[in-house]
Amino acid sequence: MITLYQFRRTWGIPNQSQFCVKLETFLRINKIPYQIVETLPLKAPRGKLPFIIDENNHKISDSRLIVNHLRLKYPDLEQVKLSPEQNSIATAFQRLLEDHLYWAGMITRWDYSESNWQVTKQAIFGVLPPIILDVAAWIYRRKIKSQLLGHGMGRLNHDEVFELAKVDLESLALFLGNKPYFMGDEATSLDASAYGILVNILACPIESPLKEYALAQKNLYNFCRRMQNEFFPELPWPADTK
Ligand SMILES: N[C@@H](CCC(=O)N[C@@H](CS)C(=O)NCC(=O)O)C(=O)O
């Protein structure tokens, strides 16, 4: 059985890591059995979560490469067989989500406000003893801020970040429209990715104009709630529990 290494569950959503939600959702869409080991990225092969150890004891990291590996291994994965054109659209949206909107979300957690940072700090490092917690969180925050500068998103002011991210959200909302899933009637890896990034913006306790704008896109909100109810029925939708 596949072993999935990821952060512990938090906030009533599958994971506070967008990519861990993505991969676990992909496994569930495709009904691939797995077991979870909770860990921190320090122990990950590329210093990032998630990663897996497969049935043959191969360690594979990066959700994109893990998905590719699983697709080769199980050729019948995902109920939907997309056309080449649909595939190219799905790839472009996946990149928008994972390589652009994701970073705007990271700004809200690590840089935007002190209160968001405190919530983030507890969610990630709360498993550590108090003295180690503060030091680890300080070192990590510096590391993530330098990643934000490296990506370029961290060189913009917050208003500029949110303006750009709003266009991402608008594009996603327009493309989803009234469809149940992004590519039609059945869930694909794009839905796993979209749910992973979006649920971590609109259903977690990180307050910002980005969250407000995402919540205002009703179809994106309903999409996330539907995905969670369908693929993580054991986790009641956070907004319904208030
Ligand atoms: N491209 C990677 C991204 C994974 C990633 O960024 N994971 C974050 C958590 S959401 C992480 O572990 N970051 C730790 C770090 O950068 O030090 C994937 O698709 O798996």
Distance 141 CA to ligand 1 centre (A): 14
The verdict on 166 and 138 lying in the same domain is yes
Specify the CATH number for the domain of residue 25: 3.40.30.10
Amino acid identity for residue 17 in this structure = S
Coil/strand/helix, residue 5:
strand
For residue 51, the ligand 1 atom closest to its alpha carbon is 20
The CA distance from 1 to 177, in Å, is 37
| Residue of 12, 82, 5, 84 whose CA lies nearest to 37 | 5
List the one residue out of 63, 160, 150, 50 whose CA is nearest residue 104: 160
Average pLDDT, stretch 103-118?
97
Question: Within this chain, do residues 31 and 139 fall inside the same structural domain, yes or no?
Answer: no
Q: How far is the CA of 218 from the centre of ligand 1 (A)?
A: 28
* Predicted model pTM: 0.96
Residue 23 contacts residue 50 (beta carbons within 8 Å): yes
pLDDT beyond 70 at 95: yes
In a domain, 78, yes or no: no
The count of domains in the chain is 2
User: What is the structure's pLDDT at 103?
Assistant: 98
Residue having the nearest C-alpha atom to atom 15 of ligand 1: 48
If asked whether residues 121 and 192 sit together in one domain, one would say yes
The answer, yes or no, to whether residue 65 has pLDDT greater than 90, is yes
For residue 79, tell me if it sits in a domain: no
Predicted pLDDT of residue 40: 87
> Does ligand 1 have an atom closer than 6 angstroms to the CB of 95?
no
The confidence score (pLDDT) of residue 76 equals 79
Which pLDDT tens digit goes with each residue over 167-211?
A: 999 999 999 999 999 999 999 999 999 999 999 999 999 999 999
**Is residue 129 located within the same domain as residue 35?**
no
Residue 239 clears pLDDT 80, i.e. is over it: no
Compute, in angstroms, the gap from residue 16 CA to the centroid of ligand 1. 11
Distance 48 CA to ligand 1 centre (A): 4
Query: What is the residue range of 145's domain?
Result: 89-241
Q: Is the Cβ–Cβ distance between 168 and 101 less than 8 Å?
A: yes
The preferred substitution site among 19, 46, 142 for testing ligand 1, maximizing ligand atoms within 8 Å of CB, is 19
Boundary of a domain, candidates 19, 44, 73 = 73
Residue 83 falls inside a structural domain? no
Give the sign of the dihedral formed by CA 91, CA 96, CA 98, CA 99.
positive
| Residue-level pLDDT at 104 | 98
Q: Is 196 in the pocket of ligand 1 (CB under 6 A)?
A: no
In a domain, 54, yes or no: yes
Instruction: Kindly report which listed range (14-23, 121-130, 150-159) carries the lowest average pLDDT score.
Output: 121-130
Kindly state if the Cβ of 62 falls inside 6 Å of ligand 1.
Answer: yes
- In short, whether 150's Cβ falls inside 6 Å of ligand 1 is no
